[in-house]
Structure formats: structure tokens, C-alpha cells
């Protein structure tokens, strides 16, 4: 099964994608993670994208489509989860072409609906395990009381460079201007499923499972 998790920053796409990887042998393709890897790699591309990401703007379609194309050969029994991609109509068209070329199709696009005030609260409360990237949130999934990451036991936690109020405003603006038209696009194609992204993490998981299983 190949799915897209669609939703604004802070909707919980990454958290749910990681659960699906663990439970269903799926592969998570997060363009945000790929770009963050490029940022620290010291390559030309890394330098070009670093500033754009820190400002909360979208990186060019060409770059992210290229990143996804490189990863599409990886096969997982459970299928692919596109997390944070596509984010523009051009990316959505490119994804349809790429999947067709690989003999694959899209099975569902799951829109995780969350209201804007909750997003701002969630993002400003977010931290990430420095060792494994597990995401924690003071509101929805606090760091365990012993101060150790529940996934890997790591004790260092960092914040994403773009998880501040200025970048967040820009990221929301980009979402509404460029990404939200995808909701209508996938609705018209009959692929859209909507779930309440504000429910607690396990309940959101159950709703996603329902979309996948039936």
C-alpha cells in the first residue's frame, strides 16, 4: 500500500509515519528528513536548502522530486508512506508519473486535520531525540520522566531550527498557499480520506489503520 500523509506542519505526520514503519513494514519517505540530512552533509545542495528551510519556505520542486525519485527503488512489503511530499500541485503530478513508471499506484491520501492554534502550540512544544530523531511534545507526548528517549534511551534532545514562531508563520502560509490545494486535487481523484489529527496519538493511529484496512 502506498499512501500520502497530508497536513500542515505539526499535524503529526512524522509520528504516525514512524509508527506505520514499525508496525507494518512500510518505508517512510520524508522529504523534510532528506533535506535535513542534506543540510548537515555540507554539499552544495545542503547549503542551498539550509537557508530556505530555516526561513520556513518551500524548497524547489525540482530538488524534492529528485530526492524522491532516488528513493523510489527501495521496496518494502508494506509499501511507501510519503510524509511531507507532495507539497505542491507540480509535485503531486510528478509523483503520479514516478509511481506509474515504477508500476506502482497510490492507495490513499490521508488528510490529518488540525486547527491552526493547536499547531502553533504543538510546534512550539516540540523536541527531537538527538540520537534517533524520535519526536516528543510537551503537550501530546512528553519526554519520559527518567529523561531518556523511549525509542533509543538517548538523553539529549534538540529543537528543529525551523520550530520557532517566525518560521512557523511562514510554513503555515506556504501550506495554505501551495499545499492545501492538494486536498481538492486528491478529493477529485477519489483518493482523499480525512481524519481528526487532534485526537490523541493512539486514536489517530486507529483512524489511520481504518483507512488502510478498509
* Binding to ligand AMP in span 42-71, by CB under 6 A: 52-53, 56-59, 64
Output the nine-digit C-alpha cell for 175.
Answer: 501550506
7 belongs to the binding site for ligand AMP (CB under 6 A)? no
Helices (H) and strands (E) in the chain, counts: 9, 8
The smaller minimum CB distance to ligand AMP, of residues 85 and 208, is found at: 85
Give the count of residues interacting with ligand AMP (CB under 6 A).
17
Alpha-carbon distances of 170 from 37, 109, 113, 136, 194, rounded to whole Å: 22, 24, 19, 22, 24
Alpha-carbon distances of 45 from 17, 57, 60, 133, rounded to whole Å: 26, 15, 11, 22
87 belongs to the binding site for ligand AMP (CB under 6 A)? yes
Active site residue 193: no
Per the CB < 8 A criterion, the answer to whether 155 and 148 are in contact is yes
Active site residue 194: no
109 belongs to the binding site for ligand AMP (CB under 6 A)? no
Active site residue 13: yes
Active site residue 159: no
Per the CB < 8 A criterion, the answer to whether 185 and 92 are in contact is yes
- Residues with a known catalytic role: 13, 87, 126, 160, 171
Binding-site ranges for ligand AMP (CB under 6 A): 9, 31-32, 35, 52-53, 56-59, 64, 84-85, 87, 91, 162, 171
Amino acid at each position: 500500500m502506498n499512501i500520502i500523509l497530508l497536513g500542515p506542519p505539526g499535524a503529526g505526520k512524522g509520528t504516525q509515519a514512524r509508527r506505520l514503519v514499525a508496525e507494518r513494514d512500510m518505508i517512510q519517505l520524508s522529504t523534510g528528513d532528506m533535506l535535513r540530512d542534506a543540510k548537515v552533509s555540507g554539499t552544495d545542495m545542503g547549503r542551498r536548502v539550509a537557508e530556505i528551510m530555516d526561513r520556513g519556505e518551500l524548497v524547489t520542486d525540482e530538488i524534492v522530486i529528485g530526492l524522491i525519485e532516488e528513493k523510489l527503488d527501495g521496496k518494502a512489503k508494506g509499501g511507501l508512506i510519503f510524509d511531507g511530499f507532495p507539497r505542491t500541485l507540480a509535485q503531486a503530478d510528478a509523483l503520479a508519473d514516478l509511481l506509474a513508471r515504477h508500476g506502482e499506484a497510490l492507495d490513499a491520501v490521508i488528510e490529518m486535520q488540525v486547527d491552526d492554534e493547536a499547531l502553533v502550540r504543538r510546534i512550539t512544544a516540540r523536541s527531537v531525540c538527538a540520537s534517533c530523531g524520535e519526536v516528543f511534545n510537551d503537550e501530546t507526548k512528553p519526554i519520559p520522566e527518567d529523561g531518556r528517549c523511549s525509542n533509543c534511551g538517548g538523553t539529549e534532545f534538540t529543537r528543529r531550527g525551523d520550530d520557532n514562531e517566525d518560521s512557523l508563520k511562514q510554513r503555515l502560509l506556504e501550506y495554505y498557499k501551495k499545499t492545501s490545494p492538494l486536498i481538492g486535487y486528491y478529493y477529485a481523484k477519489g483518493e482523499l480520506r480525512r481524519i481528526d489529527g487532534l485526537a490523541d496519538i493512539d486514536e489517530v493511529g486507529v483512524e489511520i489503520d481504518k483507512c488502510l484496512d478498509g
